[in-house]
Amino acid sequence: MSIDLHGYTLDQANNKVRELILNCFEKGIRNINIITGKGNRSSNQKDPYQSKDLSILKYAVPDYITNNSDLMDKILKIDQETVNEASSGSFNILLKKK
């Protein structure tokens, strides 16, 4: 299963990812690919009142997931190496078996 978050606000992206993880877990789908983009064209970088690192979906979405115990209870692994690669605009999640 895959979701492309291009064009979403941070709140919209987090809500979509939450829904996807919960739905996939219920359906027994274990592999999820989250496409965030690299953040190269993010207009949030131009806003001096927002954190450059945390306003980009690439970093903020994985951070949202790892700080949500309800979601982490269903996740076996988040590919953090891919999140931290400069050339990557997506990351994978492996869900636990229901």
**Residue 57 belongs to domain with CATH number:** 3.30.1370.110
What's the domain range around 12?
A: 2-95
Distance CA 28, CA 40 (A): 34
In contact, 79 and 26? CB cutoff 8 Å: no
| Predicted TM-score (pTM) above 0.85 | no
* Tokens standing for residue 80: 């953090």
Distance CA 9, CA 56 (A): 10
In contact, 78 and 93? CB cutoff 8 Å: yes
- pLDDT at residue 50 in the model: 43
- List pLDDT tens digits, range 45-58: 555 434 444 447 88
Flag whether pLDDT at 70 surpasses 50: yes
Distance CA 25, CA 23 (A): 5
The total number of structural domains in the chain stands at 1
Of all residues in the chain, the percent with pLDDT exceeding 90 is 59
